[in-house]
Amino acid sequence: MVIISWREAERIFNSSGTCRHVYSTPLESGFYFDNDEERKFALLLIALAAADAGVTILAYAIMTNHFHFIVLGERGMEFFLIFKERFSTYLSRHGRQGLMKKVFPKETEINSLKQFCNELVYVIRNPYVVSPEVNLLSYPWCSGYLYFNSLIDLIPSRSAAGMSYRELRPITKSRDTSLPGWVRITDGAINPACFVDYKLVEKLFRSPQEFLAMCFRNVEAQIEVAQRMGERPFLKDEEMFRLIRSRINDKYGATDFQTLSPKDRTEVLKYMKYDLASSNGQIARVLNRPQSEIDAIFPLTAKNPIP
């Protein structure tokens, strides 16, 4: 593997065209998917919508109540609207009329390589930070497992062009089973390696070491992206612990929460609660304080703590 310089990576990014983070606001209630078969179908619709809009997908995350994409091309919003219309038709046929009307897509233009790396990591961390069961590097409904994975090329797949009507009918969920020749199928679903340009992403991150460091260590950048989008900056307990320990040391010159003055403790607690949207339970765990003590400070959320 040849590791290019940061300057060369910047040159490649700047010459690749318009890059955008396209996403939807989370549903206030309800979920898009009843099962994994519907997620497989959504992936197919995503790939076809990207091709029809003339954009290239660099990253995706299919959440239960919202979507994230990093795309190259001028028509990122059009891509999302094509997908939205087609998935809405499917949902309507299955008794969930109007669900996609609650979807309000947004987009952010990505103007630098640094921003690109931060936004892409934010996308693929989404499933990981909200569920303890998700492995960021193997979760099938997010593109994180594609990057720097030497086994990707070994995953068997078939060209849709060589498959029978009977084989394609459950995949397309339509009597019209025609699919473009570039579509490849693995285990009854489109193989994401055929529509995600993961090779370009690898060039831009430069090395597996850089990629993993940004995924698991650069939490400050993730907080910035979340706050810009108006979302809660989910952090794992260990990530929150490292962040708060560093802040206590850098800002207050202390080594432990207990050694802070009452005023400084209050500042730390408010920072965790209001800036980082940390739950009462997480604050108690990270600071090693009784939950009852934190609930007394933030009583409005004590009745319904977010785990």
| Predicted confidence (pLDDT) at residue 218 exceeds the cutoff of 50 | yes
266 belongs to a structural domain: yes
Average pLDDT, the chain: 91
226 belongs to a structural domain: no
DSSP-derived secondary structure for 72-114: ESTTHHHHHHHHHHHHHHHHHHTT-TTGGGG--EEEEEE-SHH
User: CA 272, CA 255: separation in Å to the nearest integer?
Assistant: 17
pLDDT digits (tens, 9 = 90+) for 157-208: 999 999 999 999 999 999 999 999 999 999 999 999 999 999 999 999 999 9
For residues 130 and 122, the answer to whether their CB atoms sit within 8 Å is no
| Predicted confidence (pLDDT) at residue 304 exceeds the cutoff of 60 | no
* Same structural domain, 131 and 193: yes
| Mean pLDDT, residues 238-265 taken together | 93
1 belongs to a structural domain: no
pLDDT digits (tens, 9 = 90+) for 3-34: 999 999 999 999 999 999 999 988 876 788 88
224 belongs to a structural domain: no
Which residue, of 191, 218, 245, is where some domain finishes?
218
* Same structural domain, 241 and 288: yes
* Same structural domain, 165 and 192: yes
| Predicted confidence (pLDDT) at residue 307 exceeds the cutoff of 70 | no
Give the pLDDT band (50/70/90) at residue 301: low
* Same structural domain, 179 and 273: no
**DSSP helix/strand/coil, 303:** coil
